[in-house]
Structure 1
Amino acid sequence: MATILIMDHTGDTRHHFDPSDSEQLAWANARFAELTSDGYSAAVRKSHGEAALVRALDPTAEETLFYPRLVGG
């Protein structure tokens, strides 16, 4: 199972999907596109706790984290 983790002002929401299931993978790709078009950035965890920004869904990633734009003042 892979996880889409969405951070927002209420905390986080997790959605699990099976990348080997074509319907679930299509849903995950659509959700990725929706979130990134809404201004979210996406990152996956790499070795040693590092994160890397991604521009497309990596179905082999265990977890994809989406976080909103930072707003300064």
Structure 2
Amino acid sequence: MATQIVMDPTGHSREEFDADDIQALAKAERRFRDLTSQGFTAAVRTADGQSRRVFAFDPTAKETLFFRRLRGG
């Protein structure tokens, strides 16, 4: 199972999907595009526990984090 985690002011939500399921994979890709078009930054966790920013959906990523960009006040 792969997971998409969305961080927002209320906490976070998790969406798990089976990367072998074509429909679930398409839904996850749509969610990636929707969130990044809304201004979320996407990052994939690496094997060593770090994260790296990504600009395209990676169907092999086990965990993708989405967080809003910081805004100045």
Same fold (TM over 0.5): yes
Query: Any runs of at least 4 consecutive aligned residues in structure 1 with deviations exceeding 2 A, and if so which?
Result: none
Aligned-partner Cα distance in 1 for 2:64–2:48: 16
With structure 2 as the length reference, what TM-score do the two structures score? 0.94
With structure 1 as the length reference, what TM-score do the two structures score? 0.94
Compare the two structures and name the one with the higher strand fraction. Answer: 2
Q: How many residues align?
A: 73
Partner of 1:50: 50
Partner of 1:32: 32
Taking only the aligned residue pairs, the percentage that are identical comes to 53
Give the deviation of 1:2 after TM superposition: 0.2
| Gap regions ≥5 residues in structure 1 | none
Partner of 1:17: 17
| Gap regions ≥5 residues in structure 2 | none
Compare the two structures and name the one with the higher helix fraction. Answer: 1
Partner of 2:64: 64
Aligned-partner Cα distance in 2 for 1:40–1:52: 14
RMSD of aligned alpha carbons: 0.8
